[in-house]
Amino acid sequence: MTTHELPFFSENRFCVTGGAGFLGQVVVRKLRERGAKDIFVPTIERYDLTQLDSIQQMLTDAQPDVIIHLAAQVGGIGANREHPGEFFYNNLMMGVQLMHESWRRSVKKFVAIGTICAYPKSTPVPFKEENLWDGYPEETNAPYGLAKKMLLVQAQSYRQQYGFNAVFLLPVNLYGPGDNFNPASSHVIPALIRKCVQAVDEGKTEIEVWGDGSPTREFIYVEDAAEGILLAAEKYNDSEPVNLGSGFEISIKDLVSMIAKLTGYKGTFRWNTTKPNGQPRRCLDTTRAKEYFGFEAHMSFEEGLKQTIAWYQDNKGRIK
C-alpha cells in the first residue's frame, strides 16, 4: 500500500535508530510510503549509541530534523534476569545522551519509545498513563523499564526548560513477521511459536512453558505499532506519555492454547512454576492515543498470529 505524500514526511530529514530491527524496518517502510525521501538508519556496526562520540558522529552524518529512537537492548524475562546491568546501562546511555545531543543540535522533534515494563507491578488494569509513578516496576524487568522511563523525565524536563519537542510513547509487547525468534532473547509469542513448530517437526509430545499460565498480556501487531509511532511523530507535540496498544488482553494459558492450535501442535504443556510469571496483568488504556493523534490498532490477534506463524514457517531455516 502506498500512502499519499504528506508534507511533514516529505519535507523533513529522519533518523531512525534501530531502523534495521524488527519494528524499525516497518517504520522505515511506512516513512517511505508517506513520502519521506531522506531517512538515515544507523547500524550498530558503525555507530555504538552507548558511546557519546559515536552519537555525535551519527548526528553529524544524519543531520536529522526528526529522530525516532527505537534502538534498545530488549529481551524476554530470561534475558532481563541474566543481564539486568547491561539492560539498564545500555538503554539509559543510548537514550539520555542521544536526546541531549539532539537538543544541543536543535533537532526539531525527538520521538522516544518507552516500554510497558515501566509501569508499576500492581498497576490497576487497564494501565492509564497517570499511574506510571504509582510504584516500582515488576522486578524481572525493572532495570530495563526504569532506564526507558528516564527518557520520559528527560523529555518533559527538556521541554519545560528548553522548549525541546520530545514526545514519549509506551508501546505494549510487539509481535509479527520478522520478530526475534532466538530462544535466548525472544519474547513470549516468538518463543512459543518456535517451540510448537519445532515440536511438530520433531514429533515431540511435551513442551515446557515458564510460570503457571495465569498472567495476562496485551500485544500489538508490528504494523499497528509503526502506524501509531508515525501518527505521533506527525501530529503529537506535548509532554504527556501516551500508551500504544490494541486493547486486547489474553492469559498466557490461552495464548499457549491458541498458538498450539494454529501451529498444529497436539501435545501437552509442562508448566515450570519454578520460573517467574512476570507482571500479573498487562493491558493498556489506549484512550489518549486515539484522542491526541487518532491512533487505533486494526489487526485482530488471531490473524496477526497466523501471519507471524506463516512468516516463521517460511524463514525458520535461516533462523539460528
Catalytic residues: 144
Cell of 283: 493491558
HEC per residue, 8-40: HHHCCEEEEECCCCHHHHHHHHHHHHCCCCEEE
300 Cβ neighbours under 8 A, 6+ residues apart: none
